[in-house]
Amino acid sequence: MRVITVDFDGTLYQGNSFKVMFDVAKKQYSAKQWVSVGLGTGKAIGKLVTGGKTAGKHTFFRSFVKSFKGKSKKDLEEFFHALANGDLERVNRPLVEKIKQHQADGDQVVIVSGALNPFLTAFKDAVGLEDVDIIGSELFYDENDIAVGKMGDIVNGEKKAEAVQEWLNNRGLTVDDVTLWAYADSESDSHLLEMVDHPVVVNPDEDMEKLAQQKGWPVFGS
């Protein structure tokens, strides 16, 4: 069995999904909703100082998710649908076609990303990717499908490798039972790239390109 894991931001999507989400929200949110985001900005700046860039981003992300509190699941699905369909020019079309070829060969495809699950679902539908599993950051709802303003673990860095292992374990498999591929773009994905049988670097920046050369990882499209 071959399992193809694919990163989202910078890989399948050649941009920053959180920035796009933030830009759309700026046009739609009320002043009250921006209060929680504003408070989160202050906390994020503090985290940037004490915990570094990644910690600051995560703090701001969680604060942004708080602004979803009170919105219905249906409304948020429509929000993410509009988001995914409104920025299709940033889709990495050659990689989408490569993923579809993997599927035609009988491979199982899994999108692994720190982006929110409903956004990833909307994206795969927008680009016509079917029968794809998603491992993303979970958005929590109450029993009436109303967002509570909280999210699960952000699937980033080492957590991506852990999440793929958990996905396999839930199917009674281990990394030794399958042939694993990973398409990813950044150094934060190195744990996953190191774990798989076939790492492929996509759209690398200068630092990632150097790492790929050191590791002997092929670059997609080269």
110: helix, strand or coil = strand
Q: Which domains does the chain have, with CATH numbers?
A: 2-15+90-215 (3.40.50.1000)
**Cβ atoms 153, 128 nearer than 8 A:** no
Q: Which residues of the chain have pLDDT under 70?
A: 18, 20-58, 222
Helix, strand, coil percentages, rounded to 5, for the chain: 50, 20, 30
Task: List, for residues 83-126, the tens digit of each pLDDT value.
Answer: 888 878 889 999 999 999 999 999 999 999 999 999 999 999 99
- Answer positive or negative: Cα dihedral of 66, 71, 77, 78: negative
Predicted TM-score of the model (pTM): 0.84
| Crossing angle of helices 117-126 and 73-85, rounded to 10° | 50
pLDDT at residue 39 in the model: 46
Can you say how many angstroms the Cα of residue 190 is from the centroid of all Cα atoms in its chain? 15
Mean pLDDT rounded to a whole number for the chain: 85
CA dist 85 to 13, 101, 119, 179, 212, Å?
Answer: 12, 23, 10, 33, 32
Task: State residue 139's pLDDT score.
Answer: 94
Q: What is the pLDDT of residues 63-82, one digit of tens each?
A: 788 888 899 999 999 988 98
Whole-number Å distance between alpha carbons of 56 and 61: 9
pLDDT > 90 in the chain, percent: 64
Beta carbons of 147 and 71 less than 8 angstroms apart? yes
Residue 123 is encoded by which pair of tokens?
């994206």
C-alpha dist (Å) from residue 202 to 8, 217, 221: 11, 10, 8
Report the pLDDT value the prediction gives residue 25, as an integer from 0 to 100: 56
Sign for the pseudo-dihedral over CA of 87, 88, 93, 99:
positive
Residue 211 is predicted with a pLDDT of 95
Percentage of the residues of the chain whose pLDDT score is greater than 70: 81
